[in-house]
Structure 1
Amino acid sequence: MDQGEPGGLRRLGRKRAHLTFRPPVRAVARAGRHTSHAPPGAERTFMNSVIPIMPVLSESEQQALFAPVEVADGLPGRVYSNPEYWALERERLFKEDWFAIGCASDVPAVGDVMPVGIAGWELVLVRGLDDRVRVFHNICRHRGTKLVTKPDNLRMIQCGWHCWTYDLEGRLQRMPILNGPNTSGHDCFERESLGLVEARSGVWHDTVFVNLDGKARSFEAFTASLARLFEPYHLEGYDLTHPARHDEVVLDINWKLYHEGGLEGYHIPFVHPALELPDRYHIDNDPEAFTSLTGSLIKYKRLGAWVGLPDDTFDMNPAAAAAVSEGRRIPYTICFVTPTVIFAAWPEAIITTLLRPISPTRTGVRRNMYFIGDSAISAEAAPARQKYVDIWLGITGEDADYSTGVQRLSAQREEIGMQTRFSPYWEEAVKLFQQGVARRAYGASAA
């Protein structure tokens, strides 16, 4: 027997023996539910035979997730830490569709560059001489070195290893001593074909999105539903060039848990007592893009009041101002765009929360706050802007212990076969979000 052949099969000239083979399938049985960890609809080839692989969610798990909210079960614990699920999400939620990676205001001046490492990809935002923000794969075309390692302002992008040099539009300009001393190229190296690899990108309300495989729907089609959702808040009135912001906080959680924590108001009176208990949300759900919550406030505390400034320190958006003048509840909308950005329209600010998934169990979180008119830049409003940043940073801290605890216990929950449930009143949006992830990433369905 030749031990180099699969299964110890003997090599027979140029032919291979064909045996009936039952492949090993890594599976777990939890509370009567059988689950394989292979990609849905995938197939393996063994000895020229096609072997179907089971879906990543068992039939009973899919039925439980797509059941009515009163009796539905949530996603199993393994999807929050297992690398195979992470790989599926990277391929189907990130690479094959639009996802947010940063902000145009991160690179405000011509020549500004900002590296972004997200979900295993190394990218770089660059503002070119034409004032356009582009996104490139942060990899030198020579030997694959990482090019930009920190935010900077550059005239050219130069590799530190062999000094290959690119302009701000990604075109290769120099290959010093490539063919020996005092040379600057080679006949077999065409500069035109060796520029940086640009990622398909677009900017919406300062947020930079990319589509890495280049095959997703148009950016205009992707953002059309977002534009309609936020139309009542007149986003064009916000100053996008001077956001208040806080530095990234890295949490030991899967990116999905951050979305799930924000998609329900059930925890607010217990964890965030300074916030007003919301009424029941109106839910808008686009299974291919986002889940959004629209609610209203009765006793909204004006931002200036937090720091002892006049109530009119900050302008309200038109929808909020009209509600106040007419004595109505003040509307707000929070939109969770899978997988990496959350847009929230509050009375006096638009808040963009950017998630940077680092691994299956680590996620970076940062926020930009956009204000209206002079309140976005005036020195008088600076204390209130900083207070607003501090408030939301504090809210992140209040949630952190609970979300990281859920992350730590997800493996144990899987091990003992424990399912989670949804509050019918408060958590229908969490269920819709989980269903969207299961459909798009894991191939699950309600059938």
Structure 2
Amino acid sequence: MIDPLIGMTFDMSSMLASSGRRGDDGSAPRGGNGSQVLPVADLPDDFDGVPEDGMQYLFTVRQEAQKRPSINRVPNPYQVIAQTPSPAQATPRVRQVGRPTEAWSSSFVTQFLQLRQVSLCSSRHRFSACLCTCADSLPHMTIISQRIAAAPALSSFPPMTHNPLPQPQDQGAWHLFIHGRKTAQASDAAKRSSSSSTASLSTRIPTAPPPAAATQSTIADVDMTPAESEAAESLQAAKSQLLASLELDAPSASELPDPEEDSTDVPSHPPHYPTPFLLLSIPAYYIPRLLFHFQYWLATKQEDYEMAINYTTSTIFAPSSLRRKPTTSTQPMTAVPVKSIPRPPLMTAHELHWLLSLLTRLDTLLDGEDISTLRSLVRTIKLSNEKSELARLEREEVRKEPRRMEEKREDEDEAERRGLGWMIVAVVCGEVWGQRDLWDE
């Protein structure tokens, strides 16, 4: 069956009426909505007189309508204008105080690039020498230079100076490898060494000898009668004969076990430092996984911190007599002592030293997963630094008394760790990996 509409043409000139415009011939369009149904006078376009009849009036109405826009916008009387804050108010205090300057970041990244170039070389001695040179040339790397200066000479190290490397995905083994762990026996040995120092002081004070410390020399010094001395000598001779018959010798003092020698053989897990030998022995594909472990450890600390500051003791399952009830009395409540708020967690200087050393050997070209791991690490460090800086500013605002020595040491330690954290952020956002957008997040 053939469609009857095929081959038909339609005249769309009648649709011009919807736009309110005249046709090409100057006449009003017809057909469709808004088409002309009343007669209109045919006057020149520059007509400016007073209309005499309805036809001329309709002409002036059409002429004025063509001069006006087809769409008109009316201001909304109910619109609420939002007040935009000034740039000074919108800038947080953390950016003004906590973050490093661009000049510092560019200078540090330049020195880091030189360190990275040397770390990729195969010469271990050259790597250590350049590490010391870069640390001395940049004042902000004095901590690393102090660690290197305190380390023994490279010639004193054997080819392998560390325990076997764990598998890259074994997070617990890497935590033990990096941070170390003291066993119970090692802690007891440390206690004995500390007690021996106090014992050396106590020997200066004369004390009575123990009752069981009587020896042959002390027996000879005691005033005894001849009969008592003969009995003691005969008893000593009988003991010697008995030991000789059993073919046993009296134990000498040199054969007795020394407790201090046993303490040195106690197996412990000391922390490992990122020495040049250790860094060169870590495979390149291990490093992104190690960065993920560091990010996970810091994120876990932050979660524990959030739970600690938001923790509220619940009394739902307590007896009715112990449940909290709304206070209806008008008497003022007694002041409750404010519990000290814990400080926001930060990475330790040892962990940040490891991170900075690992970044010297991290590849420049990374896949999407490794870049995501690196960005997550920087975000976590940046967030912890900003929280620590905000907490410091809040403590300064509410402080009414001078800082104690312990609090001052904690503040200095946090300031050092924040500075090391900004080093990691500056390196990742610099020229090596180019993640500059992380500064603005």
TM-score, length-scaled by structure 2: 0.24
By percentage of residues, which structure has more strand? 1
TM-score by length of 1: 0.24
Structure number, greater radius of gyration: 2
